[in-house]
Chain A
Amino acid sequence: MDNIVIAAAKGRLAEEGIRLLELSGIRFPDYSKKSRKLVFLSEDENIKMVMVKPGDVPVYVERGTCDIGIVGKDVLVESRANLYEILDLGFGKCKMITAATRDISLNRGKKLRVATKYPNMAKDYFNNKGEMIDIIKLNGSVELAPVMGLSDIIVDIVETGKTLKENGLHIVDTICDLSARLVVNKVSFKTKTETIEKIVKSIQSIMGEESEVNIENS
């Protein structure tokens, strides 16, 4: 069996990812949510899990330092990394949206000021709409930008929309649905095919079982 290194986006995605892996029989004895370790070995020592910042997952996997990554689709789209995007893991669901404090008319012949943590995503979206924009790259609390008059509109991810509402913003458009993805380095996929396929398949079957349970419950 080949040695595999998995990079997981620190936080909820990593927790969910580890839960799925444990259900599929790959256990990490040292792991606990509170642990501050960044590297965990599986029981049989064949699989190593490293915790990295979400934005760094595509970097680790694209460069081949890690074979597999667990990361949100938002990060993938923004990074434009050249990877295999094998599985939609189905958790961490949210939406990429545009939102504003007042009604926005497009193509008004004046550049729209867009505040976002996702400049590439915003550029692609407004390009397709033929809208000229100025991007204002922010690092957090993007909702504040239109409230303070820094931008006309924002591009951001929402889960429940509560933060938007409480700050007086409404959704203008939904750009796309997002969720956690399992990505694989292109060369690892070719050189460690069997091992990686095995991991993917066991995760898939766990996901299948869980969704069946969900359907029965609902």
Chain B
Amino acid sequence: MVRLENLIPQGVQDTHSNVYEVKERIISNIKQVFKTFGYRQILTPTFEYYDLFLRAKRTIRKDEMFKLIDEKGEILVLRPDITTPIARVAASYSNQKDNRLKFFYSTNIFRINRENNCSRKEFTQAGIEYIGNNSEDADGEICAAAIECFLKCNIADFKIDLGQAAFFRGLVKEIDIDNEEIKKLKDLIEHKNFAEVKEISRKLNVSEKVKDVIDKMPYLYGDADKVLQMAKTLVLNKEMEDSLINLQNVYKVICDYGFGNFVSVDLGLINHIDYYTGVIFKGYLNNYGKEVMSGGRYDDLVSEYGHEIPATGMGINVDELIEAMESMDLIDEKSSKTDFVLIYTENYRKEAVILSRKLRDWGKIVETDKIENTKKYTNASDITEIVSVKDELLSVFDKNSGTEYKCTVAQFLNKVFNSKEVFSIH
């Protein structure tokens, strides 16, 4: 016997019909939201040059990318991220300077995740990128679109966290320490390690005021108004001040959409600070331990490809979203059913096939087979009605009620046409 675990690598999986249908439904809901906000769908290649992702510094770690070598010896990678290729596309549009570029995507991402042995190495991400608009309204719109996506999927119990990369960057300017130490401090703040942050700040050669701000960094989370108020008292320079004004304005935009109650603030969201330049978003569903949405403003990325264009965006991890929805019992997994099986004798094959085309035109799911194989269908649970086409009259067997009746083709079609019952999921 072949051992199944050897046939499929860890971190990838098959998607079967029922799950697939759920996934497509959710993706189509999300795409609908993106479309109505005026974003246009884009797809970038499944593999691209390794260099492209190396140039976009610090977006993806080197050891997270699946590498391939092409016939010329160039190193390629399976799409480890979609924002970077979209930035490449945007840079190529740059001669149309005033153009606003609003892209959406729904595609698979490939990432090696060594540390977490069970996580997916291939997952579906759906998201939007708004390029060429540096206003707070664009950031607010991105966040509002994410919220609309959750609502459209009937999720009410979720939370959006807002951060601001420039607040911490401004703070770093006040501290004269090397990059290694900044990294350490950043890690501790990101991990809300209150005690060790304090230990480090105590040893720094900075004023008491700056020490106080460092110590308070990990505490700057929670209710948006409260945190913004507290953060304002900690401002040390223009950059920090501007970052708060910006954050407040983005929050205001989101409130104008009517979504203020979903939003909280965390100024300690700084792990991807080398990449994000302004506001940062994270989306969580209650009682699900992993983030399902993430994004932010990345004004420096497009300039890596030669043109300075501001940009903001977010992506939803569709697989995590589905798993989270499953844990909240929000998914009704309907198994897809065949409406009719037409079984025929060879003499009546033509009639059966014509009838099946008619039914399919109406959107019904129809299978046909020879009468010898009837048994296969009588025992199957995913079939609603079995129709025998073997003489002038059809004999229709309704599997739900267990009843059988005879009628002409015209009578049968009439009945199907008038039936209000929804047979299948289309």
Instruction: Name the B residues within 8 Å of A81 (CB-CB).
Output: 115
CB-contact partner of A85 in B193, B222, B264, under 8 A = B193
**Closest CB of chain A to B399's CB: distance in Å?**
41
**Closest CB of chain B to A118's CB: distance in Å?**
15
- In the bound complex, do residue B290 and residue A63 qualify as a contact, i.e. CB atoms below 8 Å apart? yes
**Closest CB of chain A to B217's CB: distance in Å?**
13
Chain-A contact segment, one of B8-16, B136-144, B280-288: B280-288
- In the bound complex, do residue B159 and residue A64 qualify as a contact, i.e. CB atoms below 8 Å apart? no
- In the bound complex, do residue A187 and residue B291 qualify as a contact, i.e. CB atoms below 8 Å apart? yes
CB-contact partner of A190 in B193, B194, B284, under 8 A = B284
A185, B284: Cα distance in complex, Å: 12
Most buried by B among A87, A88, A186: A186
- In the bound complex, do residue A86 and residue B192 qualify as a contact, i.e. CB atoms below 8 Å apart? yes
- In the bound complex, do residue A65 and residue B289 qualify as a contact, i.e. CB atoms below 8 Å apart? yes
A36, B115: Cα distance in complex, Å: 31
Contact-residue size bin, chain B (C-beta under 8 Å from the other chain): 20 to 34
Q: Known: A80-B115, A86-B194. Contact between A190 and B264, CB under 8 A?
A: yes
- Please name the residue on chain A nearest to B223 by beta carbon: A193
Interface string of B108-126 (1 = CB under 8 A from A): 0000000110100000000
B339 in contact (CB, < 8 A): no
CB-contact partner of B191 in A84, A190, A191, under 8 A = A84
B385 in contact (CB, < 8 A): no
B161 in contact (CB, < 8 A): yes
**Closest CB of chain A to B297's CB: distance in Å?**
21
- Please name the residue on chain A nearest to B284 by beta carbon: A187
8 Å CB interface, A179-206 against B: 184-191, 193
**Closest CB of chain A to B162's CB: distance in Å?**
11
- In the bound complex, do residue A185 and residue B289 qualify as a contact, i.e. CB atoms below 8 Å apart? yes
Instruction: Name the B residues within 8 Å of A190 (CB-CB).
Output: 159, 161, 221, 264, 266, 284
- In the bound complex, do residue A63 and residue B289 qualify as a contact, i.e. CB atoms below 8 Å apart? yes
Interface string of B178-203 (1 = CB under 8 A from A): 00000000000001111110000000
Q: Known: A85-B191, A85-B193, A88-B195. Contact between A187 and B288, CB under 8 A?
A: yes
- In the bound complex, do residue B289 and residue A193 qualify as a contact, i.e. CB atoms below 8 Å apart? no
A28, B192: Cα distance in complex, Å: 28
**Closest CB of chain B to A49's CB: distance in Å?**
17
A83 in contact (CB, < 8 A): yes
Instruction: Name the A residues within 8 Å of B284 (CB-CB).
Output: 187, 190-191
A86, B286: Cα distance in complex, Å: 20
A186, B163: Cα distance in complex, Å: 14
8 Å CB interface, A145-173 against B: none
Most buried by A among B193, B266, B286: B193
Q: A64-B290, A85-B193, A190-B266 are in contact. List 9 more A-B contacts (CB 8 A).
A: A62-B289, A85-B191, A87-B195, A88-B196, A184-B192, A187-B284, A187-B290, A188-B289, A190-B284
Q: B residues near A, CB below 8 A?
A: 115-116, 118, 159, 161, 191-196, 221-222, 264, 266, 284-291
6 pairs of A and B residues whose beta carbons are closest in the complex? A64-B289, A84-B192, A85-B193, A88-B195, A187-B284, A191-B286
Q: What are some 20 contacts across the A-B interface (CB < 8 A)?
A: A62-B116, A63-B118, A64-B288, A64-B289, A80-B115, A82-B191, A84-B191, A85-B193, A85-B196, A87-B194, A186-B289, A186-B291, A187-B284, A187-B288, A187-B289, A190-B159, A190-B284, A191-B285, A191-B286, A191-B287
